[in-house]
Structure 1
Amino acid sequence: MAVAELCLFPLGTETPSVGKYLEPVLEVIRASGLKYKLCPMGTVVEGSVEEILDLVKACHEAIFRAGAERVVISLRIDDRIDKPLTIEGKMRV
């Protein structure tokens, strides 16, 4: 199991407000079946690396369908095989 932080930045929009571009992305994340946590500056997801990369591709497509002319994607993946990795476990001090 891996934990990833995903952030999409739509560019080429007519306004600094980007909610209309990100709402379809959130719908894709919700529909993915992966465990996730929305954060102010991105979204954290939990799943296999393959599931996470498939999700990133689906989010990439969704933001363009929403009308963005350009997108920058920031993705960080933490994957380990020596012990279980979860969103909650990463948040423990």
Structure 2
Amino acid sequence: MPLLEISVVPVGTATESFSHDVEKAVSIIEQNNLKYQVTPTSTIIEGELDKLMDVAQVIHLNEIENEAKRVVTTIKIDDRTDKPISLESQVNKVSDH
């Protein structure tokens, strides 16, 4: 199943903190019943590509609805076709060494 990494930076808000934005993004991900992992600088989501893109759009638009003057969203997609991948398998490969 594909993995999508998303990082959203709202610009022109009343605060420098992103914690509320991350909490809202996680809430959106959970409402869509997707597996995820929060990192210090982004969030990784596992799911079908169409669903991942829909969720990424909702997360991005949520920042605009929350009155950010500008939103910079960075997305990376890891989609292997030769064998399945998952959040757990990718982390376990690194921690097993």
Give the TM-score normalised by structure 1: 0.89
Structure 1 alignment gaps of length 5 or more: none
CA distance in structure 1 between the partners assigned to 2:5 and 2:42 by the alignment: 7
CA distance in structure 2 between the partners assigned to 1:37 and 1:12 by the alignment: 27
How big is the alpha-carbon RMSD for the aligned residues of Structure 1 and Structure 2?
Answer: 1.4
Kindly report which structure 2 residues correspond to 1:25-64, keeping only aligned pairs within 5 A, or say none: 25-64=25-64
Give how far 1:65 is off.
1.8
CA distance in structure 2 between the partners assigned to 1:59 and 1:76 by the alignment: 15
CA distance in structure 1 between the partners assigned to 2:72 and 2:78 by the alignment: 20
Q: Which residue of 1 aligns with 2:6?
A: 6
**Deviations, residues 41-64 of structure 1 (Å, cap 9, x unaligned):** 110110111111011111012112
* Contact 1:2 1:85 (8 Å CA) reproduced: yes
2:78 pairs with 1:78: yes
Amino-acid identity (%)? 33
Q: Which residue of 2 aligns with 1:87?
A: 87
CA distance in structure 1 between the partners assigned to 2:41 and 2:13 by the alignment: 18
Q: Which moved more, 1:57-66 or 1:21-30?
A: 21-30
AA paired with 2:7? C
User: Relative to total residues, which structure has the larger strand share, 1 or 2?
Assistant: 1
Give how far 1:67 is off.
2.1
CA distance in structure 1 between the partners assigned to 2:9 and 2:42 by the alignment: 10
CA distance in structure 2 between the partners assigned to 1:37 and 1:60 by the alignment: 18
Q: Which moved more, 1:76-85 or 1:24-33?
A: 24-33
Q: Which moved more, 1:60-69 or 1:30-39?
A: 60-69
Give the TM-score normalised by structure 2: 0.85
Structure 2 alignment gaps of length 5 or more: none
